[in-house]
Structures are given as C-alpha cells and as structure tokens.
Amino acid sequence: MKSVQLDLSAISVRELNDYLHHELIAEGPRVVDILKPNGMHNIAVGLDCPVEVHVRGNAGYFIGGMNKQAHITVYGNVGWSVAENIMSGSVRVKGSASECTAASGHGGLVVIEGDSSSRCGISMKGCDIVVGGSVGHMSGFMAQAGNLLVCGDAGAHLGDSLYEAVIYVRGRIQSLGADAREEPMTKADYAKVGELLKRAGFELSSKEFKRVASARALYHWNAEAHQEY
Amino acid sequence: MCGIIGLMAKKEELRQSLGELVLPMFDCMAERGPDSAGLAVFAPAVEPPLRRFSLFSDRDGYDWNGLARSLEADLGCSARIVTRDNHAEVVAAVGDDPFRGWLRRRGNGVRVLAVGHSIELFKDVGRPDEVARRYGFSALRGTHCVGHTRMATESQVSPAHAHPFTAGEDFCLVHNGSLSNPYSLRRLLEEENLEFETDNDSEAACRFLQWRMRKGDTIEQALGSAFEKIDGFYTFLIGTAKQMVLVRDPFACKPAVVAETDDYVAISSEFRSLAHLPGVAEANIFEPLPEQIYVWRVAA
C-alpha cells in the first residue's frame, strides 16, 4: 500500500486537511503518517475515505471529528472532543483524552486506551466508545444511542438524562445521574461487551461489567415532580 | 475564551531563563485571548522593609524618574525605579497603604498593578505577543510566573481589566471563564470595606480569596469557601510568593493541562502551548479534576 508522511512543522493543519479531503481521495487509499502534531487542533477532521492515518504524537481539539470510513490512530494524548460527530470508521487514542470524547458520535468506533475525562460520550447518537481506563464526571450525558464501555471507573453523575444508549462499567461508579440506573446484565449484554472488547483489542472478561441504562422516567413530563428528579 | 499559563521552575538554571521558557507558551495562547495580556513573575524577594511596586500609566512617555524623585522627597525614602514602556517598577522601603495614599494625593493617574516583596506584574491591552515583547517578558527571571491572554466577554477591554488581578501583597489570580454572581461577591466584600478597581468578575474572585486568607484561611480553606460562594465557570490559577495554585469549577467547564517534570511544573489552557517545553515528551501530563485544589510550592 502506498504511504505518505506529512509533517505539521512544515505544513499547516489547513493544508494537511485539504490534502486528506482532495488529493488523497484522488490518489486512492493509502497509509498516512502525520508527524509533529504538537497538540494542534482539528487534525484529520472530515475524512471520507478508507485510509489508515497515524498521528505520531499528541493532538489537540477535535482530532478525527466527523470521521467517515477512515481509521485514525493517535500515538499520544488528545484534547477536547476527539472524534466529535464520528459517522463511521474508527479513532484510536493510545494515550488519554480530555473532555467530550466522541460527542454526538453517530457511528463507528472510538477507543481511548488511557482515561477519558469529563462528559465522555455526551449526546452520542449511535457510535461505540471503549475506554481502557476511567471516565470523568457526567459521562454519557443525554446519550441517545450506541454503547459506552468503561474498563476502569466512572466519575460522578454517570449517564445523566440518558436516552437509549447503554453504558457498561467494569470498575466503581462514583454516582449515577438523574434517570440512570444499574440493570441486570442479560445474555445479549455479555455478548455485546465481548464484541466491544474484541473490537477494541482488550483482553478482559465480559463477566466483570455492569450495565447502566435509562429508567425512562424522564421521557414524559411529570407535572407533579416539581422539577425534582 | 481566554488562555491561562503558569510555569514554576524547580531548578536554579531554569529560573534564570523563566521568561524565555514561558514566552512561546504565552504566544501560543494568543489565539484564545487576543485582546489583552498580562504576566506576573515572582522574582527574588527584596529585603523587608523594601517592597516592589509594579506601576502603570496610560500616558506614553510618562516621567517615571520624576515620580521616583518626588516619592523620595515626599516620603523620605530612597526609591529605585526600572521603567519599560507604560510600566515601571519602584522598589522602596514604604508600606502599601502609605504608598497608595501618596499616589492618590499626587493625582497623576498612575495605577498600582501589584505590591509585594517578590511579585512583578505587567499587563496591557494589545495582542499578547506584542505585549510580551513590549514589556520584555523573555528577559524575566524568577521562581514561577502566572500569565493570561484575554478574550473579553463581560467587561471592557482596558489595561486595568487585563489579568492578572492582584489583592494584598504577593498575590495574584488569572481566570478563564465567567462568574454568575460577581456582584453579590462585591457587595459582600464592600461591606468589609474592600475597594475595587474595575467591574470585572475575576477581580471579585481575586479579592474574595485574598480577603479569606487575610482572615486567616489557608489557600485551601479560602478555595473551599470559594466553591460555596462563587458561582460560574472558572479555571483559576493563583500565584503567591511561594505557591502556584490551580482549581477548576465543579463542572470543569474550562480547560487546563499540567505537565510536570523534575525541572518544572507547566500549566496551560491547552497542551499545544506546552509542546515546545524541554522534556515534555517524558513529562507527567494530566488534566486537573473538577473542584480539586492543586498546590505547587517553590522548592528552597
């Protein structure tokens, strides 16, 4: 497979993304190495072709945002909103992620091998997120569809105002958010956890995970609740 | 937005090049705050009763030497002065209150930016990289420094509204965020006869914390009551003569990243402004947790 190296100390992020959006597609699938990312924002956003992208270092905000088809690996940490609104393909972070991982993600797989901080999976709409470490507070906030699997611990208010996304946690849950509840694991859940672990490449037993889902009490307006939930 | 930066050098040789190290951090954060900028550096302490006074005049070409001479004549002390652009530092054996009283009587529009034994403070409007060059940040030396690049969201753009804010001696604060209840904080503090220089929300937070500490709180206790009393979004970075302190609000609405090595502790709103630091690839890099107090002390 043809491969190309692009050095962000020599070209701008705008030039890089322009290449990934146009020339790369014209030249056919290949492997792209992005060097010296130095925490810059918006690296490899809006990709729409089956390419393998390796980001060799720490990236900033929105890395891999709106991704379609591409498989992006970051060999470092990432800032806020990695893989925001991901549609398909995958984004893997070898280090840790800051806030709002895969916010609003519609599809595809996001793997954070380290920790992912506050609001991981906020408003996710169908993507799958696997976190090797722990997630920060308010993770899974208003998550609508898809799965968030946490191999470590979960911070406070997990799954607050959840819709139909399902959260699996292996470690300790500091507290559950409004309308989130722990539910018994079914056969289908064990199968789903096993599948997610396999896709993420983590060798853990699905037996160790708990399921958190919506109690659906907030789906309908309750005038007698006096805003207390 | 707004950018915050902090750097504490753990080793003597880095203290000699603190300004050079911090300058690229500062330049990078210009994108988060392009309208004004400031930096407080904690330099070697002057011997009491000497104090450092960082001063600012809006008037270009202000007669700073004339100010120093009349200070000497009026208060009977010797005054050393170093000037740079609209800024001057006076070192004199005079207390904070007598100095401010004298400055007020003289009525020349000069403002006190900071007072203390260690603190030197520069702040002004303009692009942060230009402010940094105008005031020679790259030549600054000291144990630690706290800086800010401002994108004003709630009060005017003026040199006085730029961060860092100070209160008392050797105490400053920079803030990324916006507070919901700065006016109730102000009313609380005005009842305690505290005076404000601006209508800025961050000044209210700065004065609240320093007021708590003047009442005997440790910085941890003061921040504990700040969590109760201050409502809004904030990442605060606080500098004192011997400490650098970082907190984020309970929702962690505003960012911060820390990189620590055996040589330094570096703090910024974003990692990209730390990426140039020597040894950052091996640094312990972490994101501070919400409502946790992080304190770094200057090593002897």
| A96 contacts in chain B (CB < 8 Å) | 287
CA distance B25 to chain A (A): 12
Contact predicate B213/B222, CB 8 Å: yes
Contact A98 B289 (CB under 8 A): no
**Residue A224: per-residue pLDDT:** 80
**Residue B266: per-residue pLDDT:** 98
**Residue A220: per-residue pLDDT:** 84
Domain range list for chain A: 1-71, 96-229
Q: Mutate which of A137, A138, A153, A160 to test chain B, going by most B C-beta atoms within 10 A?
A: A137
- Share the mean pLDDT of chain A: 96
Q: How confident is the model at residue A223 (pLDDT cuts 50, 70, 90)?
A: confident
pLDDT tens per residue, range A35-63: 999 999 999 999 999 999 999 999 999 99
How would you write A14-58 as a 3-class SS string?
HHHHHHHHCHHHHHCCCEEEEECCCCCCCCCCCCECCCEEEEECC
User: Which of B252, B257, B275 has the CB atom closest to A38's CB atom?
Assistant: B275
Looking at the predicted structure, is the pLDDT value of residue A17 above 70? yes
Scanning every residue of chain B, which has its alpha carbon at the shortest distance from the alpha carbon of A117? B287
Q: Within an 8 Å CB–CB cutoff, is residue B27 touching chain A? A: no
- B273 and B154 in a single domain? The answer is yes
For chain B, state the CA radius of gyration: 18
Q: Residue B64 belongs to a domain with what CATH number?
A: 3.30.70
Q: Which residue, B70, B89, B117, sits at the end of a domain?
A: B117
Contact A77 B290 (CB under 8 A): no
- B112 and B166 in a single domain? The answer is no
Q: What is the ipTM of this complex?
A: 0.91
Triad A164, A66, A9: Cα angle to 5° = 140
| A38 contacts in chain B (CB < 8 Å) | 272, 275-276
Contact A118 B257 (CB under 8 A): no
pLDDT beneath 50, residues of chain B: none
Contact B271 A79 (CB under 8 A): yes
- B22 and B112 in a single domain? The answer is no
Q: Within an 8 Å CB–CB cutoff, is residue B282 touching chain A? A: no
Contact A60 B270 (CB under 8 A): yes
In A, what residues contact B, Cβ < 8 A?
Answer: 38-41, 58, 60-61, 77, 79-80, 96, 98-99, 117-118, 136-138
Q: Residue B178 belongs to a domain with what CATH number?
A: 3.60.20.10
Q: What is the full DSSP assignment across B30-45?
A: GGT--SEEEEEEEPSP
Q: How confident is the model at residue A11 (pLDDT cuts 50, 70, 90)?
A: very high
**Residue A2: per-residue pLDDT:** 81
- B7 and B104 in a single domain? The answer is no
- B111 and B96 in a single domain? The answer is yes
Instruction: List the beta bridge partners of residue A6.
Output: A34
**Residue B108: per-residue pLDDT:** 84
Q: Within an 8 Å CB–CB cutoff, is residue B194 touching chain A? A: no
Does residue B129 fall inside a structural domain?
A: no
Residues contacting residue B182 through CB under 8 Å, at least 6 positions apart:
B200, B201, B204, B205, B232
CA distance B271 to chain A (A): 6
Contact A99 B255 (CB under 8 A): yes
Q: How confident is the model at residue A221 (pLDDT cuts 50, 70, 90)?
A: confident
User: Which of B274, B285, B290 has the CB atom closest to A137's CB atom?
Assistant: B290
Contact B289 A41 (CB under 8 A): no
pLDDT tens per residue, range A136-145: 999 999 999 9
Q: Within an 8 Å CB–CB cutoff, is residue B285 touching chain A? A: yes
CA distance A126 to chain B (A): 25
**Residue B112: per-residue pLDDT:** 97
**Residue A225: per-residue pLDDT:** 76
User: Which of A60, A117, A118 has the CB atom closest to B272's CB atom?
Assistant: A60
Q: Which residues of B are catalytic?
A: 2
Looking at the predicted structure, is the pLDDT value of residue A229 above 80? no
CA distance B294 to chain A (A): 17
- B194 and B273 in a single domain? The answer is yes
Contact predicate A108/A87, CB 8 Å: yes
Domain that holds residue B92: 46-117
Looking at the predicted structure, is the pLDDT value of residue A227 above 90? no
Give the dihedral sign, CA B11/B12/B17/B18.
positive
- B152 and B248 in a single domain? The answer is yes
- B8 and B82 in a single domain? The answer is no
Q: Within an 8 Å CB–CB cutoff, is residue B271 touching chain A? A: yes
Q: What is the full DSSP assignment across B182-248?
A: HHHHHHHHHTTT---SS--HHHHHHHHHHHHHHTT--HHHHHHHHHHH--EEEEEEEEESSEEEEEE
Contact B275 A58 (CB under 8 A): yes
**Residue A107: per-residue pLDDT:** 98
User: What separation in angstroms does the CA of B215 have from each of B212, B244, B264?
Assistant: 5, 20, 32
Contact A98 B290 (CB under 8 A): no
Does residue B123 fall inside a structural domain?
A: no
Contact B290 A118 (CB under 8 A): yes
Q: Within an 8 Å CB–CB cutoff, is residue B80 touching chain A? A: no
- B30 and B169 in a single domain? The answer is yes
- Burial (0-12, 13-18, 19+ Cβ within 10 Å), B96: middle
| B5 contacts in chain A (CB < 8 Å) | none
- B146 and B78 in a single domain? The answer is no
Of the given ranges (A82-86, A95-99, B24-28), which has the lowest mean pLDDT? B24-28
Task: Please give the model's pTM, rounded to 2 decimal places.
Answer: 0.95
- B28 and B158 in a single domain? The answer is yes
Q: What is the mean pLDDT of residues A185-198?
A: 98
Q: How many domains does chain B have?
A: 2
CA distance B232 to chain A (A): 17
- B198 and B96 in a single domain? The answer is no
